[in-house]
Amino acid sequence: MGKSIVEEFRTRVIMGLRATGTAAAGYVLPTAGASKITIRVIATMGNEADLKLTLMYADNAAGNNATAFTDVPLYVNGVREDTDSEVYTIGDDTGNKIVDFVVDPADIPDGKYIGISYENSHAANLMTALIIEDVMYKPTAT
């Protein structure tokens, strides 16, 4: 039997469940040696007010000097979007959405934190954000 998902992937909360009536952002330091990273946003839309999500990196967990990422592969409810982007806007009240920003760790500037921000939306729209890292591959020390 191979390794379990828990042994192969590290998952951490970037932002706990929250209403999106006020803009916010959250950042975490990526795990050294991770071979793949996904920033996953899970949103429950109770109002049709747009929920604009932006993949960002910053100097620290507080979000100092936050900068929008460059375009990355984007999946919505498990379906690959036609165009890569660092921004995705949920623009309806159709229930649950899962938005995955797929990041190559090599594209994260050294020492930077990675995370997600959103603009003011509506208190009836809820979201949470996670980082999922593939930590199974560990380079051998030389």
Predicted confidence (pLDDT) per residue in 52-98, tens digit: 999 999 999 999 999 999 999 999 999 999 999 999 999 887 789 99
The token duo for 89 is 């806007």
Return the domain boundaries, the chain: 8-134
Rg (CA), the chain: 15
Kindly report the pTM of this predicted structure.
0.90
Q: Does domain 8-134 have CATH number 2.60.40?
A: no
pLDDT surpasses 60 at 49: yes
Pairing state of beta strands 74-76 and 67-68?
A: unpaired
How far from each other are the two terminal CA atoms of the chain, in whole angstroms?
A: 29
- CB-CB contact of 115 with 39 (8 Å): yes
Q: What is the mean pLDDT of residues 85-113?
A: 94
pLDDT (0 to 100) of residue 136: 74
